[in-house]
Amino acid sequence: MEEYAKACNADEVVLYDKKTLLAISSFSNKKLKDEERFERISYSMKKFMSNYKNVSNKLNEFTIKNKVNIIYFDEFVNSTYIMAVLSDKNASLELLKLNIEISKKEFENIFKKN
């Protein structure tokens, strides 16, 4: 996860289980002070996904940009979603998306082994 975050120029990368939306793996290059952070994100994502399903059957991806960072969320491999947090406002979302596409097969092989 650390190598992946560095390749994407991301401050944080989190993999979420697709069914439960619970964090299954993460890396952050910053000290996280909030111990319940992943639980709160999971809860927020569940609410968002529930509301989104009323409009569409499938969530492909979404991006949130604010003053502090860029948050990118997308379907990753068959059983997971990926979230990347970038604090560099000049970071390329296209490069991030390309890195995600390139690494999907490698991660699929890892998940198949487990």
What letter represents residue 60's amino acid?
N
CA 69, CA 86: separation in Å to the nearest integer? Answer: 6
Task: Assess whether pLDDT exceeds 70 at residue 96.
Answer: yes
Q: What local confidence, expressed as pLDDT, does residue 16 receive?
A: 92
Which one, of 108, 101, 92, 88, lies nearest residue 12 by Cα?
88
What percentage of the chain exceeds 90 in pLDDT?
15
Q: What local confidence, expressed as pLDDT, does residue 93 receive?
A: 86
CA 37, CA 43: separation in Å to the nearest integer? Answer: 10
Task: Assess whether pLDDT exceeds 80 at residue 56.
Answer: no
Domain count, the chain: 1
Q: What local confidence, expressed as pLDDT, does residue 29 receive?
A: 87
Q: CATH number for the domain including 74?
A: 3.30.450.190
Q: pTM for this structure?
A: 0.82
Contact criterion met (CB below 8 Å) for 91 and 69: no
Q: Considering the chain, what is the average pLDDT of its residues?
A: 84
84 φ/ψ angles, rounded to the nearest 5 degrees: -120, 135
Per-residue pLDDT, averaged over 39-57, amounts to: 78
Contacts 24+ apart (CB under 8 A), 47-51: 49/21
For 43, the domain range is 2-113
Q: Choose the most confident range, by mean pLDDT, from 48-52, 64-68, 103-107, 108-112.
A: 64-68
CA 102, CA 37: separation in Å to the nearest integer? Answer: 28
